[in-house]
Structure 1
């Protein structure tokens, strides 16, 4: 009943969590285990309420270890990695694979170093394979993050350049206008097609030629699919 109450009353949840831990964590009576697990599980969803000392101690208690690992895997607090590494030194523990998953969920270089160290010293193929799978997941995540960060930066650079080029279409110097038109083709700026078409009726012969060449090129580009 207490666990259900503090799960729903958000403004009081932190205080209730603290009360639960103060009252039952040290003694850990059997009837309070479910409530304790609920309090520890809540730490993973609400970092502000997380008591790192409690989480580390919970790792050493079999009845709370799984729940603590679940929360630690969500918090990604680097100060908890040494405790996880210590737990991973004993592959025979029932929640060993859960500990590997918790470390993997950090998706950081520090977590990768922990898994690599454990894999190097692993005494079984199963343990080594679990660590290597975690390393592969971290690598794939970081590669994807790097790819999209690079793509976002490239998109921002492109959009800024196109904005400048569209502004140059109004330049008094014909050569500047022509080079801007050609550059829009280089950037494959299909979004500029309506603007270029509107320029055709009033364009001189040289500018009109550049406009037609650019429009022909842009019209041949397939619309970019939403990513």
Structure 2
């Protein structure tokens, strides 16, 4: 199942839901992970709860692997990590509401969630995550677009790159077993001319059918 929601600025509680998520790696956790050798891997439990980057837009910004909290916040609010360069246009008025991201939430059937948590079959989490990534690759190819000025007209063009943070959750807001992944697609994409612009989200926001690809 798939639900699609636009994340706008100005609602502090909603912003913190994403920027303070426990799946985002803090500095202390980063230092701990760097302590281990390349031959050692993170625990299965950590893998179940760790946000990771996905998409060509993330690659273009040097973002890969575990999502660090500070990197997430910078991109979420429209800046390349460690830079003042915007990944979307500058707001004319700093006080205006801004579209921050799109949240495509992919939920597994309850039977799958129960098999994962009661049966301890971690292969189900891997299969769910891979399915989500395959759908997002389709989204990136079809619906990663922006608007540019061409021949005096505003045109929608495909960019084929998105910056996505995959945030895994395992319970619903009511506390029931529900494996689901928040695919937070940042509002920003790089055009063929190398310029970063706001993501044109009209087509993407209407594609609820993509959730059927997980079944």
Q: What TM-score, normalized to structure 2?
A: 0.22
Larger Cα-atom Rg: 1
Normalising by structure 1, report the TM-score: 0.21
More helix, by proportion? 1
Determine which structure has the larger strand proportion and give its number: 2
